[in-house]
Structure 1
């Protein structure tokens, strides 16, 4: 099912997920119950070496997918406190990929993980991160 973020329909310019940011990734998310995923195919605007997507962009995609999973589960924004990314394959410009995130909620910090998969389901990148939910003071 397509995931709707709490700020959908408002003007925001998130580099990762806003449809209003002309330079952004414009990621759309699918909520699969236990996971949140985003399919993407990037063009040459996001490359490092010729034909290869920049690793920093892949980190943004993982962070966006994990962070928005937490937003959808807890109903509040969550700030990244730490993140580790591992690149295990080449992500090529013009090819389809999918980022899948999982989270373990509970406590003051939330842990999450993500995988970037190619069209054959092979892992080409992974990330783990810790987030601090921004709960309002009551």
Structure 2
């Protein structure tokens, strides 16, 4: 895929945007970039030792954060709504190594009531599943999140 397909989040250019997962202005963050992929969203991931747990292994909390970011930003980009994670379940299938390339793919579906259900998986360069996540998100009023109005 080319950089032309990269999606820009509505608040990416705001000076006060410091999201650890995706804000371009956060030097300590992951700097994730998102691209459409069918009915979902993908982010390629290759992180260095700053995010290490055991020697050579990406911290499991960072793995969960990547899944959460891709699912949550799919809701923003697809529906123009901000939603917060109310629950998330992770399944770690393999070891995700630092300085190696992985891809996180997320999809969403309606949940009970106003909730939105998300699913994400991280695969290695050979296509093997390394981690999966399922989550429930609750939409919040834009004003409560402190964000500009998003197109719906």
Q: Work out the CA distance in 2 between the residues paired with 1:120 and 1:84.
A: 24
* Counterparts of residues 64-83 of structure 1 (less than 5 Å): 64-83=69-88
The match for 1:6 is 10
Q: Which of 28, 34, 45 lines up with 2:33 in the alignment? A: 28
The match for 1:111 is 117
SS at match of 1:18: coil
The match for 1:46 is 51
Gaps of 5+ in 1: none
Please tell me whether the aligned partners of residues 102 and 123 of structure 2 are also in contact (alpha carbons under 8 angstroms).
Answer: yes
Q: Work out the CA distance in 1 between the residues paired with 2:41 and 2:62.
A: 18
Gaps of 5+ in 2: 144-152
The match for 2:129 is 123
Further displaced range: 48-57 or 104-113: 104-113
Residue correspondences, number: 137
Structure 1 residue 105, shift from structure 2 partner: 2.9
Q: TM-score, normalised by structure 1?
A: 0.95
Q: TM-score, normalised by structure 2?
A: 0.86
